[in-house]
Chains A and B, each alone.
Chain A
């Protein structure tokens, strides 16, 4: 096989895993779920973008950002600003005292569109901003923190503080950002109604395809020499530094990639859910996104997607049926996963799932001929094999 392709797919096993995930989100979900539930899954998948980015930063790079909500939010807000401007054309907002500006600005006695909003009239600018704005912020934070060799723990606390600052800022600047309510009532994208079922279906597929694209990019990074260096840095940073590598640049790079993924996720969130608010920026959503990655397995890109899906399914189910229990379960799950299964679902799969699968696969063979594979690999046959008649 072509080596680049091999890197992308992560060998035969990686290709099978990816194909299964793609089949699940591209075929099974759209066929099995109604429009409402599918839209919900689409929302969960946008969190999976962040979780995939976290696997890169945290699982491989060893840097735990507790502020991924910042980048998710920035991407989402960029998209929301464009959609809001389109939704508030002078025709539709003529009852306002200043037609042509978003309604919340009118409520806050702002009479002119702020300069910050001007460029968001252009869709191409917005699409670039969705990726570039989070990356720029990540770059600034990364350069400031990693060039000075700030420790992991301090980095986590500072990113958390930045998430807090951004939330307070967004809520405080009501006229500019819509305050606590966020930017709501988004209608069309270049005249295309994003609230119709058909549009939601298309957006779901776009977001699923983008997610798979992000996973492929992440795989490429992990399989390349850069990925090896990230792992080496995570385990013995000093040794990598003494070997002549600029550790900070690698950390900054991977942090920026995570930010870019989160920004794309945020934009897809806004498109599918139809609003953006500070409640997706702050500390709590940021840590929840870490939970998705932790539950799925911090070293598994596909695991992160499953983690995001499972935790969110659980959240929706339990908070609908047993609202009292949900936080106990979520907290308990988190404690148990972190303490006893640090590699999450993917780790469980590697240690138990594969063995079960292998056992299932071997059984029919035993009935026909003695298992050659077992002998060839030099492993002692498992007791089940011997007792099977």
Chain B
């Protein structure tokens, strides 16, 4: 019986590990699922919007600890909201200045946003320095939760999980249940038709892009609870994130969730048996192979062309 409970504890912790990798992937992919999945814009600077959120949280945290220590336990919620709006506002500007001029040339969008990501990375480096920074976490995010003796689940992981659930639910409601979401989907499926029924497609584009960037900002804020932030933190994840969205079937939010889940579980399971880098190689290769066999991804929306 002893070994069974021990095995159960390891399985539970391993499962939780997979779940938190899943949440991280999903948080990153949500913003991209909107920008790439719905709009078809390849935003290589997506990782940098994530970094904006992380740095915003860092700034709020250090301002709080030096000017309003009493506010300490609650600052994090404020930081999340601020991250959303700052990343969203910058996204709005970027759409206005760059993306809106490149809708006819998707491959060029990819290249131009890559240039943007270089500029943004260097910007972070100039402002915050090349060294990694980390926000001071409120006490309620530290430590871990022990349902039994052997199981040890970190609280920040739980928090990120909760945030992921909330954000996914909100996005789902916005895209599939709100009037605005209807306009977005209409614009993406048939731009000319949408315009002719009176939808301001330019505004829809701009708001959609800004929303996607804002979500990336929230993801960045959530990441500060897990790790530290450097100028190139976002760019490390960009390829994985794109793969998650492509693998899931670009225009399906459900697909993104499913693909993030399967990639994360596969990776954390493989990590248990082989080294971290080989686990990544196997997972990514499997994803690429499946994509070669099924280019439309796991879940594909039926769209008449």
Task: Tell me which residues across on chain B come within 8 A of A149, comparing CB atoms.
Answer: 295
Tell which of A64, A161, A172 touches B287, judged by Cβ atoms closer than 8 Å.
Answer: A161
Does B112 count as interface, using CB distance less than 8 angstroms? yes
Which of A13-21, A84-92, A106-114, A150-158 is the interface stretch?
A150-158
Which of B178-186, B211-219, B238-246 is the interface stretch?
B238-246
Indicate if the CB atoms of A161 and B115 lie closer than 8 Å: no
Does A379 count as interface, using CB distance less than 8 angstroms? no
Shortest CB-to-CB span from A383 to chain B, Å, is 33
For A283, the closest partner residue in chain B by CB is: B239
Indicate if the CB atoms of B281 and A333 lie closer than 8 Å: no
A332, B277: Cα distance in complex, Å: 34
Interface readout for B94-123 with A: 1 if CB under 8 Å, 0 if not? 000010011001111011101111111111
A286, B277: Cα distance in complex, Å: 21
Tell which of A150, A153, A172, A335 touches B107, judged by Cβ atoms closer than 8 Å.
Answer: A153
Indicate if the CB atoms of B110 and A156 lie closer than 8 Å: yes
Task: Tell me which residues across on chain B come within 8 A of A291, comparing CB atoms.
Answer: 111
Task: Tell me which residues across on chain B come within 8 A of A342, comparing CB atoms.
Answer: 105, 108
A161, B98: Cα distance in complex, Å: 25
How many residues does chain A have at the interface if contact means C-beta atoms less than 8 Å apart?
Answer: 42
Shortest CB-to-CB span from B130 to chain A, Å, is 11
Does B292 count as interface, using CB distance less than 8 angstroms? yes
A213, B277: Cα distance in complex, Å: 39
Shortest CB-to-CB span from A297 to chain B, Å, is 14
For A165, the closest partner residue in chain B by CB is: B284
For A64, the closest partner residue in chain B by CB is: B107
Which of A44-52, A183-191, A322-330, A370-378 is the interface stretch?
A322-330
A172, B276: Cα distance in complex, Å: 9
Interface readout for A138-166 with B: 1 if CB under 8 Å, 0 if not? 00000011001111111011101110110
Task: Tell me which residues across on chain A come within 8 A of B281, comparing CB atoms.
Answer: 165, 168-169, 172
Does A171 count as interface, using CB distance less than 8 angstroms? yes
Does B291 count as interface, using CB distance less than 8 angstroms? yes
Indicate if the CB atoms of A324 and B122 lie closer than 8 Å: yes
Task: Tell me which residues across on chain B come within 8 A of A364, comparing CB atoms.
Answer: none
Does B126 count as interface, using CB distance less than 8 angstroms? yes
Does B191 count as interface, using CB distance less than 8 angstroms? no
Task: Tell me which residues across on chain A come within 8 A of B40, comparing CB atoms.
Answer: 153
Indicate if the CB atoms of A157 and B246 lie closer than 8 Å: yes
Tell which of A162, A172, A324, A339 touches B101, judged by Cβ atoms closer than 8 Å.
Answer: A339
Interface readout for A311-353 with B: 1 if CB under 8 Å, 0 if not? 0000000000000101110111111001100100000000000
Does A262 count as interface, using CB distance less than 8 angstroms? no
A330, B122: Cα distance in complex, Å: 10
Indicate if the CB atoms of B110 and A334 lie closer than 8 Å: no
Asked, given contacts A331-B118, A335-B112, A338-B108, whether A144 binds B98 with beta carbons under 8 Å apart, the answer is: no
Shortest CB-to-CB span from B138 to chain A, Å, is 35
Within 8 A of A (CB), among B115-145: 115-123, 125-126
For B238, the closest partner residue in chain A by CB is: A283
Residue of B117, B122, B287 with most partner-chain A CB within 10 A = B122
Indicate if the CB atoms of A338 and B239 lie closer than 8 Å: no
Does A287 count as interface, using CB distance less than 8 angstroms? yes
Tell which of A153, A171, A326 touches B110, judged by Cβ atoms closer than 8 Å.
Answer: A153
Indicate if the CB atoms of A338 and B112 lie closer than 8 Å: yes
A157, B248: Cα distance in complex, Å: 14
Interface readout for B236-264 with A: 1 if CB under 8 Å, 0 if not? 00010011001000000000000000000
Indicate if the CB atoms of B112 and A150 lie closer than 8 Å: no
Does B35 count as interface, using CB distance less than 8 angstroms? no
A154, B183: Cα distance in complex, Å: 26
Indicate if the CB atoms of B277 and A327 lie closer than 8 Å: no
Indicate if the CB atoms of A157 and B242 lie closer than 8 Å: yes
Asked, given contacts A157-B242, A331-B122, A339-B98, whether A165 binds B288 with beta carbons under 8 Å apart, the answer is: yes
Tell which of A157, A171, A283, A334 touches B243, judged by Cβ atoms closer than 8 Å.
Answer: A157
Shortest CB-to-CB span from B236 to chain A, Å, is 10
A283, B107: Cα distance in complex, Å: 16
A72, B295: Cα distance in complex, Å: 26
Task: Tell me which residues across on chain B come within 8 A of A148, comparing CB atoms.
Answer: 292-293, 295
Does A290 count as interface, using CB distance less than 8 angstroms? yes
A294, B42: Cα distance in complex, Å: 18
Task: Tell me which residues across on chain B come within 8 A of A332, comparing CB atoms.
Answer: 115, 119
Asked, given contacts A169-B281, A342-B108, whether A335 binds B239 with beta carbons under 8 Å apart, the answer is: no
Tell which of B107, B112, B277, B288 touches A334, judged by Cβ atoms closer than 8 Å.
Answer: B112
Indicate if the CB atoms of A168 and B277 lie closer than 8 Å: yes
Within 8 A of A (CB), among B255-301: 275, 277-278, 280-281, 284-285, 287-288, 291-293, 295
Residue of A151, A154, A162, A171 with most partner-chain B CB within 10 A = A154
Asked, given contacts A153-B107, A165-B284, A338-B112, whether A330 binds B291 with beta carbons under 8 Å apart, the answer is: no
For A162, the closest partner residue in chain B by CB is: B288
Indicate if the CB atoms of B42 and A161 lie closer than 8 Å: no
Indicate if the CB atoms of B111 and A327 lie closer than 8 Å: no
A144, B101: Cα distance in complex, Å: 33
Task: Tell me which residues across on chain A come within 8 A of B118, comparing CB atoms.
Answer: 327-328, 330-331, 334
Shortest CB-to-CB span from A335 to chain B, Å, is 4
A81, B238: Cα distance in complex, Å: 32
Residue of B101, B108, B126 with most partner-chain A CB within 10 A = B108
Nearest 9 Cβ contacts at the A-B interface: A334-B115, A331-B118, A172-B277, A331-B119, A327-B122, A144-B292, A335-B115, A331-B115, A338-B112
Known: A294-B111, A334-B118, A335-B116. 5 other contacts (CB 8 A): A144-B292, A290-B111, A326-B122, A330-B118, A332-B115
Instruction: Identify 30 residue pairs between A and B in the complex whose beta-carbon atoms are under 8 Å apart, listed by A's number.
Output: A58-B107, A66-B110, A144-B292, A145-B292, A151-B295, A153-B40, A153-B42, A154-B295, A156-B107, A157-B42, A157-B246, A158-B291, A160-B239, A161-B242, A165-B288, A172-B275, A290-B111, A326-B122, A327-B121, A327-B122, A330-B115, A334-B112, A334-B115, A335-B112, A338-B108, A339-B98, A339-B108, A339-B112, A342-B105, A342-B108
